[in-house]
Amino acid sequence: MAKVKAGVSTRGDVLNALGSPSSESSFGNKTWFYVTTIKETRSIMPPKVIDQKVTEIAFDAGDMVTSIKQYSLADGKDIEIASRITPSEGQQLGFFEQIFANLGRFNKDDSNGTSNNHGNRSGTSPTGYPTR
């Protein structure tokens, strides 16, 4: 990190000194993130992060380093992950509502004497098209 200085170093200098970044920004000014994490694992317990350092290096349009910020584990914040269900507008039917909503919709005769069973009036096997 001693080799990287804001206003002096370029993107190439950072790449030579620190290697590829752990992550890059997706939008806005080009920003590289270098993440170092130390975890402790004890027997069957899940791993626990005991130390973490994040270095944020921002570049301008000319690939010159504009700022260097460092964050520790104490700077981190817990974020609640949103569920993977996207709510939709409209009515949501329960199990019984779905079953009872269709009662009376099948084999209902219309005024022409045809039914929606895709057969003909004589009761023989269905053809796939209603008789007119």
HEC-encoded secondary structure of 1-65: CCCCCCCCCEHHHHHHHHCCCCEECCCCCCEEEEEEEEEECCCCCCCEEEEEEEEEEEECCCCEE
Encode burial over 44-61: b for 16+ CB neighbours within 10 A, e otherwise.
eeeeeeeebebbbbbbee
Is the pLDDT at 88 greater than 90? The verdict is: no
Q: Which residue has the higher pLDDT, 79 or 25?
A: 25
The C-alpha atoms of residue 76 and residue 10 are separated, in whole angstroms, by 28
Q: Which residue has the tokens 């974020």?
A: 79
**How confident is the model over 57-82, as a mean pLDDT?**
87
pLDDT tens digits, 5-59: 898 999 999 999 999 999 998 887 799 999 999 999 988 889 888 899 999 999 9
Domain ranges (residues) in the chain = 11-75
Q: Number of H helices and number of E strands within the chain?
A: 2, 4
Q: pTM of the predicted model, to two decimals?
A: 0.55
pLDDT at position 114, please? 52
pLDDT tens digits, 96-119: 877 777 776 666 555 555 555 554
